[in-house]
Amino acid sequence: MAATVPNRLLYINGEWREPVKKNRIPIINPANEEIIGDIPAATAEDVNIAVEAARNALARNGGKDWASATGAHRAKYLRAIAAKITERKSELARLEAIDNGKPLDEAAWDIDDVAGCFEYHADLAEALDKRQKTPIPLPMDTMKCYVLREPLGVVGLITPWNYPLLMAAWKVAPALAAGCATILKPSELASVTCLELADICMEVGLPPGVLNILTGLGPEAGAPLATHPHVDKIAFTGSSATGSKIMTAAAQLVKPVTLELGGKSPIVVFDDVDLDKAAEWTLFGCFWTNGQICSATSRLLVHDSIAAKFMEKLVDWCRNIKISDPLEEGCRLGPVVSKGQYEKIMNFISTAKNEGATILYGGERPQHLGKGFFVKPTIITDITTTMQIWREEVFGPVLCVKTFSTEEEAIELANDSQYGLGAAVLSKDLDRCERLTKAFQSGIVWVNCSQPCFCQAPWGGKKRSGFGRELGEWGLENYLNIKQVTQYVSDEPWGWYKSPSKL
């Protein structure tokens, strides 16, 4: 039976709504290149309607329905959403796999994380009540001061296709926990599970307009959202090029933005490691999610004394990776998301060969798969630091390798990048690991592993990987306005000016 997806409309003001222009975008299963459905294509007209719905949701009943309700009130909805996601896990994981191409086991893991993200932010919403009116000690007895944490307002959330529902949860959950009204614009390349989130929100009775979900193309839906004068903040995860455009547009309105952008993260392997353990973490760090991870540790720096043996290990482990339709049992590498992404990756590999690099393994379509956007896991050696493959983000299952001889050289090579999202170090010498942890110019460091991520810990980068942090208590702060309230508590006059009554 052919794979199909539910037929949905836009989700605006708590109900399904047909796009004003009635346009739709086909959904292509990247594993077999077949059209399996379509999604609604929003335009600026739909953005305007959604923004109005969001502003009305904030103002409804004087804000008591959502924005100024207790965090505990909002937490009930977040927990209800989490429960429904868990209940529908198998369905959502399957939809994610056929829409995005990631292995079913991985998609199921993602859905668990989605539910956990909503649960965690329910806890933060409840804790927010206790943090209200936090007193601030002052040097004057006649003054008292406290802080209110209030929702920023209407926020636009623009998310990528590599973790469709999870990246949405990373933004939607804290924004709702803070009391904001939201407009989610997922990537047109993988939006299916985000529309199912809309269905879940309808089931749990989320107040109308608090979350609106607009699928559609970036220029037609994302750009009008980013530039809308009544959207108070934009949070974006995606490419550095698009992030730069969003930042430029937001600057015209002095609108705050949070940007989680590209990466070209290093993984440094020293000569004291267990080769098999290090090989698995190295491949996992680059090939997880079919290599389509902004934080992928795709620049391998290996100590020259073990380089030859380590390359042999990597190739042996690569040969053991099952590449197949994501729904097949045991699949560990599925197709990349689209034809355009496939062609982009193959062009990167071709350019690397033309520049003199060596394709040690992969670099082609798997022979047993005639259809689908599959790229064999690829290892590239004989790299120079000026090559495109070393400097630019590929966003595919491509690992490039350089050797080093000293710790200082490894640090210099690791930091020689315009990006600064993640970095990893593998060594039994924990003092050395700590030195590299401090030396890495990145927002995230993994020690003796690569890519684990937990919603309790902050996520974000530096340099051209963006700024701001998602997840943990830091992620909630993205959606809060901090208001200082200072009160004069003395019965005595202020006494700065002479009183007219005493002249």
Which amino acid is it at 424? A
Secondary structure percentages of the chain, helix, strand, coil, to 5: 40, 20, 40
- Is-catalytic flag, 260? yes
CA 87 – CA 181 distance, rounded (Å): 25
- Is-catalytic flag, 220? no
Beta strands 233-237 and 154-158, pairing class: parallel
The neighbour count for residue 140, using CB atoms within 10 Å, is 11
Give 223-254 as a DSSP string.
Answer: HHHHT-TT--EEEEES-HHHHHHHHHHHHTTT
From 180, 201, 294, 400, active-site residue: 294
Question: Residue holding tokens 């980068």?
Answer: 461
Which residues does 498 contact at the CB level (< 8 Å), separation at least 6? none
- Through-space distance between the first and last CA atoms of the chain, rounded to whole angstroms: 94
CA 52 – CA 62 distance, rounded (Å): 16
Q: How far from chain centre, in Å, is Cα 219?
A: 20
Tokens of 213: 């979900």
C-alpha to C-alpha distances, 102 to 31, 339, 413, nearest whole angstrom: 10, 15, 31
From 119, 220, 260, 470, active-site residue: 260
CA 136 – CA 18 distance, rounded (Å): 50
Residue 318, judged by CB atoms within 10 A of its CB (0-12, 13-18, 19+), counts as: buried
Which sequence positions are flagged as catalytic? 260, 294
